Homo-oligomer: A and B are copies of this chain.
């Protein structure tokens, strides 16, 4: 079985984006009076949006299951206040839930949280609880910078995040650390901002001792771990200077990297440097990089090809495709069993 642990609903029906635009317009003009019920999306529209896109590619590429969450760049936690984020998160999560119901066993949900700059992360708990208990979601996306590239918040090791971590441990769910769109002209959302947030999250965790406090807490750092594997020597050396244990012990029982690295040499480096136990198959399809690589003739984000071509044993490949996902996202096991 091949499980892609990183997919977003980037192809939601146009009405969703239109509603969001109106929601944003209403922030400064409440007279516009927008209601959640103004957004109507039929099952048929959802089905089409998935069948023509993600499901088509999954079938072509031999991917059985995708862990599916709301579109990352559209979370835009920096827009509006907590109420704006809360309504938007609720809509986006419900849409993903409907995808999981329409395609049982093919899509499994992961939640966007209603984060908002400067607002206590504990405010996200009701949405998180609903998504796990009512929707059967198996993970959350946690935005380490809800300011959208202003980075005026606090590191992931700050105690303000702990209520979320406690809930994650209680539910035995991991968080994918994932920023949203950049509102900072210095950063390009999917070019550098995503990767930088990955690297920063890794370094925040390296500097801290979060996993002494939460030994069962698990983070997935997407996009191949940002710059971390390429600079693994640097990070090992910095851990040493900071008096931390070896990275294997300090972090690597709790941190996992996905395979959203869009060329063969990058994937080769990833599995050369990082233990196979810490690598989870993912493509972020359909996402940031949608074109065909002229040097290979295949889609950049067809990451399964790179894993197939990598110097891995059948066992290692199976761990990356399935075994690690079942371990890091244990709630998928019951869902996949039910789906047969």
In the assembled complex, A134 has its CB within 8 A of some CB on chain B: no
Assess whether B206 is in contact with A202, with CB atoms less than 8 Å apart: no
Docked-complex contact B188 and A207, CB < 8 angstroms = yes
| Closest Cβ–Cβ distance, residue A223 to chain B (whole Å) | 7
Contact B186 A196 (CB under 8 A): no
A186 engages B231 (CB within 8 Å)? no
Which of B203, B291, B300 is the one whose CB lies under 8 Å from A192?
B203
Inter-chain contacts of A186 with B (CB < 8 A): 144-145, 151, 153-155, 200, 204
User: Per-residue 0/1 for A231-255: is the Cβ within 8 Å of any B Cβ (1 yes, 0 no)?
Assistant: 1111111101100000000000000
Shortest A218–chain B CB gap in Å is 21
**Which of A105-113, A264-272, A329-337 participates in binding chain B?**
A264-272
Interface status of A30 (Cβ within 8 A of chain B): no
With A and B bound together, what is the CA distance between A195 and B199 in angstroms? 8
- CB < 8 Å: which of B150, B188, B237, B261 contacts A262? B237
Within 8 A of B (CB), among A111-160: 144-145, 149-151, 153-155
| Alpha-carbon distance A203/B230, docked complex (angstroms) | 18
Q: Which of B155, B192, B265, B289 contacts A269 (CB 8 A)?
A: B265
Contacting residues, chain B, for A155 (C-beta < 8 A): 185-186
What B residues does A7 contact at CB under 8 A? none
Contact with B along A154-192 (1 / 0, CB 8 A): 110000000000000000000000000000111110111
Does A273 have its Cβ within 8 Å of any Cβ on chain B? yes
Known contacts: A192-B203, A234-B300. The answer to whether A185 contacts B227 by CB under 8 A is: no
Check: A326 CB closer than 8 A to any chain B CB.
no
Q: Does A41 contact B (CB under 8 A)?
A: no
Residue A293 interfacial (CB < 8 Å)? yes
If A186-B200, A241-B290 are given as contacts, then 10 extra A-B residue pairs at C-beta distance below 8 Å, sorted by A number, are: A145-B186, A188-B206, A192-B203, A195-B199, A231-B263, A231-B266, A234-B261, A236-B293, A237-B293, A238-B288
The interface of chain A, by Cβ under 8 A from chain B, is: 144-145, 149-151, 153-155, 184-188, 190-192, 195-196, 199-200, 202-204, 206-207, 223-224, 226-227, 229-238, 240-241, 261-263, 265-266, 268-269, 272-273, 288-291, 293, 300-301
